[in-house]
Structure 1
């Protein structure tokens, strides 16, 4: 199989509202998908953490409806979250006293690669995790 093509059907979610309940629904769906794809436990947990962090950023910062795509590409799974905010993602300085604000640092530590694609109508933040 060619690493450029998807070996399994990607999740192309309907648009979700920027609410915490949507994260629970998406996480459940992605977990089921990863099980069907036979993604090993540690990699599946890493992917689920990336999903949670990217969605938390949409809810906390973009505050717009979003779409998520999860696509297996050979030995990686790509998670991509599209929102309607044009503001680029911003990695914060580490504040050891803060309870939050480490999401993109976690994504960067877990993912082989991550980034974002900006457009006139929003952006897509993506991360690729090895499986």
Structure 2
């Protein structure tokens, strides 16, 4: 399911954020590894799914958007999901925008995904189901 929303409006915890100012192919490997620590205690399939989704969203930001970029990992308090967000400084695409195969993977792995419009650009986000919540210190 695809949605355009005004952002997450529920109690949630920011598990982590990574910022970058340019296109760096090595960043993608690093951000995938970065997910492992905040998702400690989750199932392996949840961690792998999150790695695929963050890889697709980050790759799209590199290809189609302008820096600065940020990747955020958010844990809503009242739902068993993990929310991944990729922020960039580019306006959202027109509504006739046609996603590619990478977003087909996002659609298959996620409960919902979408785009939030911001004055500073956009946020592409996706929510993955969690069977086990991460260990939060």
* TM superposition score category, shorter chain reference: 0.7 to 0.9
Q: Distance in 1 between matches of 2:35 and 2:56?
A: 14
1:53 aligns with 2:56: yes
Write 1 or 2 for the structure with the bigger share of helix.
1
Which of 82, 87, 91 is equivalent to 1:82? 87
Q: Distance in 2 between matches of 1:28 and 1:62?
A: 23
CA contact (8 A) 1:91 1:105 kept: no
Secondary structure of the 1:43 match is: helix
Q: TM-score, normalised by structure 2?
A: 0.76
**Unaligned 5+ runs, structure 1:** 93-100
Write 1 or 2 for the structure with the bigger share of strand.
2
CA contact (8 A) 1:91 1:104 kept: no
Point out 4+ residue stretches in structure 1 off by more than 4 angstroms: none
Q: TM-score, normalised by structure 1?
A: 0.79
The alignment yields a C-alpha RMSD, in angstroms, of 1.9
Secondary structure of the 2:92 match is: coil
Q: Distance in 1 between matches of 2:92 and 2:11?
A: 30
